[in-house]
Structure formats: C-alpha cells, structure tokens
Amino acid sequence: MQQEHAVIDPIDEPLVQGNKTLQQVTRDVADHLDQPSSKAWWVGLGISASALALGGLCILYLMTYGIGTIGKNKTIGWGFLITNFVFWVGIGHAGTLISAILYLLRQKWRTSVNRSAEAMTLIAVMCAGLFPLMHMGRPWLFYYLMPYPNTRGSLWMNFRSPLVWDMLAISTYFTVSAVFWYLGLIPDLATLRDRATSKVKKAVYTLMAFGWNGSGRAWHRYELVYLILAGLATPLVLSVHSVVSFDFATSLIPGWHTTILPPYFVAGAIFSGFAMVLTLMLVARKTMHFEEYITQRHIDAMTKVILLTSMLVGLAYLSEFFVAWYSGSRYEQFHFLNRFFGPDGWWAWVMYGCNMVVPQVLWFRKVRENLVLVFIISLLVNVGMWFERWVIIVSSLQADYLPSSWNFYRPTIFDFGVMLGSFGLFFTLFLLFAKFLPMIAIAEIKHEVAHGGHAIKHGEAA
Amino acid sequence: MSRRWLIGIYEDEAKVLAAVTGLRGAGWQVHDVYSPYPMPGLEKALGLKHSRLGWVAFLGAMAGVFGMLATELYVAVVAWPVNIGGRPFASIPAFFPPMFEAGVLAAALGTVGALLYVCRLYPGQDVEIEIPDVNDHRFAVALDADQAPQAAAKILAQLRKSGAVEVLDKQGVAQ
C-alpha cells in the first residue's frame, strides 16, 4: 500500500539559512577579508602575540640554560612538555575528523566548519611539534631523527622505536593535512583573485590560486582526488594518535603498559578536538557574523559528538580500572589508587570530572541551545583533557616500581611560559588565518546552497 | 599561441547542462565548462571518462609501503644491525607503522601532484580563458572557434538560444 507522507525530515533542513544566492555566499565569506580589521581582532592578536613572545623568551632561556630549568627530574623525565605535545596533537584530530571522516560519511553539515577546523589541525600540529623539539634539549640536532645516509657512522635511526614511528606519523599527518587543506582552498583562492581590487592582493592570490578557473574537467578530477585524500586521511588520523599512544603503551610503566591506549587516545583526541572547534567556532560565528552559516544545527551536531566521545573516553577509563583490578598486578592496582587518593589526587578528580561528568549535561536540548553553557563546557573539556595527559604521564612516572626513586613534578615558571607560548602561537596563527583566508569553504557551501534541497535565486544582487 | 574562443555565459546550472548536451548533439566539440562549484551530471554531459588518478594513488601507496620496507630492511639488517637480546634483525611487525605512514604520504603527495600536473595548475599560473564571475556565481561554456571558423556565428546563436545571458567571442591564451 502506498501512502503519501507529509513528514518534514529534520535532516532536510537547509544547511545554510537565509536563502542565499551564490553571490551572497561569496560576499558573506569574503567581504570581511577586504575590510579593515576590527578592534576585537587587534586586541586578540595583541594578546596572543604577546603570549607568543613571552613563550619565545622562555624557550630562549630554556635553550640557553638547559632543560633543568623546567620541573623535570631523575624520576619524571616526561612532564609538562610531553603533556602539551599530546594535548595539541589531540586538538588537531577534530579537524581531520570533520574534513575527512565526516566527508566519507556524507555528513553535509561539516561543510560550514571544515575549513577552519582543518586550519586548526595544522596550527595545532605546529604547536605540538614545538614540544618534542624543546624536550630534546638540543633541538638543533633534530635531523638525527631523519632516515638518510649520513657521516655519523652511518648512524641510522632505530625503526623499531615508537619515538621514530611518532616522528614519522606526525610529520606525515602534518604534510597530508596541509595538502588537503590547500587543495580545498584553491577554488576559493580563485574566487578571491577574481574579486581582488588591490594590485598586491591580486598578485598574491594569483600566485596562490594556481590558475584555477572552475574548469569542469578540472572539477571532475578534483572531486576524485578530494575523495581519495579523505580516504587516506581517515586511517592516517586514526594511526597518529594510536602511534602517540604507543610511546606509552610499549613501555612497562604501570598505567602506561596497557593495550587499550590506542583507541582510548583516539577517542580522547576527537573529544578534545571537537571541544576546541566549538570554542573557536562560537567566538568566530559571533564576531564574524557567520550565524547563518554555522547554525544551531552545527552546534547541536558537534555537542553530540562531544557527548558520544565523552562516553567512549569514560568507557576507556572504566576499562582501565577494571583491568588494573582484574590483572592482579599490585603495581597497576597501586597506581590507580595513587592516581585518585595519592598526594596529587586532585589532578585525577579534575580529569574525570571534566571529561566524564560535565559533558553529560549535553543530553539536554536546553543546554545544547544555550551557547554560553556550551562554550563553558567546551573550555572545561579542554581543561579536563589536558589533565588527562598530565595524569597519564606524570602520575604514572612519579610512583612506579621502586619507592626509593619516587618523586614529584613541580612545574616551574618556564613550564608555564612555554605552554603559554604555544597557546599564543595557536591563537596568533588562527587570527591571521581568519584575517587573510576564507574561513568557510565558499565553493563547497555554494554546492550545498544549489543542491541542498531548497530553491536558489540565481543571478540577482542582494 | 592565441586561440579564439566562443563563450556562452549562463546564470542557471540546469541550462548549462542542457546547452552542453545540445552543442555536442549538434556535432560541436565543447572545450570546457566553467562553474563556481562542481556540477553534478557534468561529466556525463561532457562525455568525460572516469579519471585514472585513483591508480596514481594506488601506485603511490605501494611505492611508499615497499620503499619504506626496503629502507628498513637495509638499515636494520645490512647497514646498522643491532643485536637486542638475540632478536631477529628483520623484525617485520615493528616495521609496519613506518610503512603505513610512508604509504599514505606517497599516495597523497603523488595523487595531488598528478592532479596539479594533468590540470596544469601551478603556482602563479595564468588563467587559461578569463571569463568574468565564473568563480563567483555564473557558469560558462567555451568552444574552440577554430574547429569551424566559418560557423562561429551559428555556434554563438546556439549558445544564445540555449539560455546564455551573454556570449563572448574572444582571443585567449592556449596552453
């Protein structure tokens, strides 16, 4: 029996509000690139560039006097720096998830946020890369990690080492993300080139747009390559945080030596990354007036991803406890008791509170629609995820098998300075990106506007 | 070399597809179609074959994976063998993560490089035919006038008839 349904599918709700014409889309995204920067932008840049400069000074001090100036000691060799490294790599993951995995899953809502999320990935990986370099103590010797025939013996790197895997994974991740991001930018750069009025801008955009002219033959191949890159980036992003977790999981330290770490790290990375995307997007949509492009629907979808990954992370935490108890290993059991009730137990309470408990309020639609609350939750999740890495690294190292070598990690002002510098770098680069490049994928949005299920008004000016 | 192009500019995507089908049906060769976003159904209207760039990705991945395996075997067995408690030098499972990363890297760079090469996209490249607004809100169909110089007026008329809001007859740089 056939029946006519008059059901309105919520999925069919237009992605972009305001019934835009193609021209309007270009203008909405590109106009602010031509206007003088707002006061808020300058204030933001001033603060983040100052933080970056302060971080730079701390790094200079660190390099001059050696890494003894930070809180590391004989027992705890991985501390603040590696925590920040894992934190920033994790932040990066959401960008690839949005740009590649959601693309393969045909989640069209990704279109409004993918460009800036990918930019966030690139910048976060740059911030991450800073920390292992400093952690080396002699960063000018970083090329020892590169596999090439050399005059040192020839002293090759050890391909069995998770640290080498890590270097290869992160550098591959950065390169592939950068290529993917730039490929997406090419059509939009051509749009900017065509509307540029100043000579300098025209020259720069001409250089960057690679002669793109919207050719149908080029689009035909471009779409295939975009799909291939999405298919390559998907296993890549899963591999990156898995490999980061191998740094820990292949060791014998209680709290590290566990097979659950790879999926646990990947879920945590997506969790923290989405929180950071939300933090940035909520500010950007307000200050840059993208409310019609980044709608409640997008925020709703992202908060739901946060809720889901919060529970995945929670499940991993609980499995960890269970395995510690069930394994019968006294060292594992002691570690988890120490994590909660030891002298620095408050770290764990912050971590579990922010990551497992706080996001549960996102079950309620009222909360998901209250943007101030969503913003606060996204910040708390980032705090919680920073503490997760801190707890995993430091609380595992500070009390392992040999009580005589137990110790505390007390970060010095230089630890905090370098971390502040990485946040400065992150926000400085993100603000520059927002100023000089289109934050929303213009061509992709146009495709959605034209084929997203509602009629389009052609041609006429707004 | 300068070539003469006959260009029809449209404001409606559906008309472009119909125009391309009509022109090709009348026996003309359509040089290219220009649009601000990828138009579904265009490859059929233009008669484009499935791109072979997927093969580039496959070959790139294979080159990366086996190239890295060869490097690792050379390093760990020949150039710098390290005896760790008598374990085998060729410890293949531990070689997988670098092989995977190299495969992804080579496939991605190879595919994008091939795309840029076959589409002739280079930094600072000049646009082949400058058509106003095709990266903004308009669509265009371009034909090479040299395929039938005496029939240019006829082609232009057909472009106009198919719904073009503007037709151009211009010289452009051919590549």
| A22 contact B CB<8A | yes
Would residue A167 count as lying in a domain? Answer: yes
The answer, for B81 touching chain A at a CB cutoff of 8 Å, is no
Nearest chain B alpha carbon to A181: B112
B80 vs A contacts (CB less than 8 Å)? 154-156
A164: closest CA of chain B, how far (Å): 8
How far from the centroid of its chain's Cα atoms is residue A106's Cα?
21
- Please give the Cα distance from B127 to A198 (Å, whole number): 18
Distances (CA, A) of A207 to A136, A176, A236: 37, 21, 30
> Measuring CA to CA, which residue among B118, B72, B32 is closest to residue A159?
B72
- The Cα of B117 is separated from the nearest Cα of chain A by a number of Å equal to 11
Q: Is residue A86 part of a domain?
A: yes
pLDDT in the model for residue B172: 64
Highest mean pLDDT range out of A103-117, A445-459, B73-87? B73-87
Q: Do A254 and A331 contact (CB within 8 A), yes or no?
A: yes
**pLDDT of amino acid A13:** 59
Q: Confidence class of residue B13 from pLDDT cuts 50, 70 and 90? A: confident
Tens digits of per-residue pLDDT, B93-133? Answer: 999 999 999 999 999 999 999 999 988 888 877 777 778 78
Q: Is residue A457 in some structural domain? A: no
Distance from CA of A99 to the nearest CA of B (A): 15
CB distance B38–A223 less than 8 Å? yes
- A429 assigned to some structural domain: yes
User: What H or E segment, with its residue span, contains residue B110?
Assistant: helix B92-118
For residue A52, give the nearest of A431, A334, A386, A374 by alpha carbon.
A431
Contact assignment for A194 to B136 by CB distance below 8 Å = yes
Whole-number mean pLDDT of chain A? 86
Burial of B115 (0-12, 13-18, 19+ CB in 10 A): buried
Checking if the pLDDT of A8 tops 70, the result is no
- Alpha helices per DSSP H over B74-91: none
**Torsion angles phi and psi, residue B2, rounded to 5:** -100, 135
B63 and chain A in contact, CB less than 8 A: no
Question: Is the CB of A453 inside 8 Å of chain B's CB atoms?
Answer: no
> Total structural domains in chain A?
1
Q: Contact, A438 vs A33, CB < 8 A?
A: yes
Cα gap A377→A358, rounded to integer Å: 7
- Residue A376's CB is within 10 A of a number of other CB atoms, namely 13
Q: CB–CB of B94 and A458 under 8 A?
A: no
The answer to whether B171 faces chain A, any CB pair under 8 Å, is no
Band of pLDDT at residue B173, cut at 50, 70 and 90: low
Please tell me which of the candidates A180, A213, A444 has its beta carbon nearest to residue B134. A213
Every domain of chain B and the residues it spans:
2-49+129-170, 53-118
Q: Which residues of chain B from 111 to 150 reach within 8 Å of chain A, CB to CB?
A: 111-112, 115-116, 118-138
Q: Give me the percent of chain A exceeding a pLDDT of 90.
A: 33
pLDDT of A84 above 90: yes
**How far is it, in rounded angstroms, from Cα A206 to Cα A192?**
9
Taking an 8 Å cut-off on Cβ atoms, the answer to whether A165 and B116 are in contact is: no
Q: What is the CATH number of the domain that holds A172?
A: 1.20.1630.10
User: For residue A37, what pLDDT band results from cuts at 50, 70 and 90?
Assistant: confident
Given a cut of 50, whether residue A24 has pLDDT beyond it is yes
pLDDT at A3: 44
Which tens digit of pLDDT belongs to each residue from A143-163? 888 888 888 877 888 888 898
Residue B146's contacts (CB-CB under 8 Å, 6 or more residues apart) are B3, B4
Whether the CB of A156 is below 8 Å from some CB of chain B: the reply is yes
To probe the interface with A, which of B11, B96, B135 has the most A CB atoms within 10 Å? B135
Residue (of A27, A22, A99, A33) closest to B35 by Cα position: A22
Which of B12, B71, B101 would best serve as a mutation to test chain A binding (most A beta carbons within 10 A)? B101
Residue of A31, A164, A219 for testing the chain B interface, max B β-carbons within 10 Å: A219
What is the ipTM score, two decimals? 0.89
Give me the pLDDT at residue B98, please: 93
Cα gap A379→A314, rounded to integer Å: 18
B2-49+129-170 has CATH 2.40.160 classification? no
Chosen from A164, A213, A234, A449 to mutate, greatest number of chain B CBs within 10 A: A213
Q: What is the dihedral of CA A192, A194, A198, A200, to 10 degrees?
A: 70
The predicted structure's pLDDT at residue B62 = 95
Any domain includes A245: yes
Residue A352's pLDDT is 92
Q: What is the pLDDT of residues A107-122, one digit of tens each?
A: 777 887 888 888 999 9
pLDDT of residue B155: 79
Residue A279 counted as domain residue: yes
Q: What's the pLDDT score for residue A388?
A: 92
Does residue A458 fall inside a structural domain? no
Rounded Cα–Cα distance for residues B31 and B6 (Å)? 10
Mean pLDDT of A417-430: 93
- % of chain B with per-residue pLDDT over 90: 24
- Distances in whole angstroms, Cα of residue A315 to Cα of each of A261, A309, A395: 12, 10, 20
Q: What is the pLDDT of residues A279-309, one digit of tens each?
A: 988 888 888 778 778 888 888 888 999 999 9
Contact A179/B108, CB-based, under 8 Å? yes
Find, in chain A, the residue whose alpha carbon is nearest to that of B14.
A450
Nearest to A228 among B43, B101, B111 (CB): B111
Instruction: Tell me: pLDDT of A457 over 50.
Output: no
Nearest to A26 among B111, B120, B136 (CB): B136
Examine the pLDDT at A10 and tell me if it is beyond 90.
Answer: no
Distance separating alpha carbons of residues A455 and A443, to the nearest angstrom: 17
Query: Beta strands B139-144 and B30-34: pairing type?
Result: antiparallel
* DSSP code of residue A99: I
The residue-averaged pLDDT of A103-108 equals 80
Nearest CA in chain B to A219: B38
**Cβ count near B91 (within 10 Å):** 14
pLDDT for the residue numbered A14: 62
* Confidence at residue B151, expressed as pLDDT on a 0 to 100 scale: 77
A308 lies in which domain range?
A: 16-146+157-451
Chain B residues within 8 A of A186 when measuring between CB atoms: 121
Mean pLDDT of A231-251: 91
Q: What is the pLDDT of residue A15?
A: 66
List A residues 384-443 in contact with B (Cβ-Cβ < 8 A): 442-443
User: Is A313 part of any domain?
Assistant: yes
pLDDT at B167 over 90: no
The answer to whether residue A106 scores a pLDDT higher than 90 is: no
Residue A318 confidence class, pLDDT cut points 50, 70, 90 = very high
Shortest CA gap B111–chain A (Å): 7
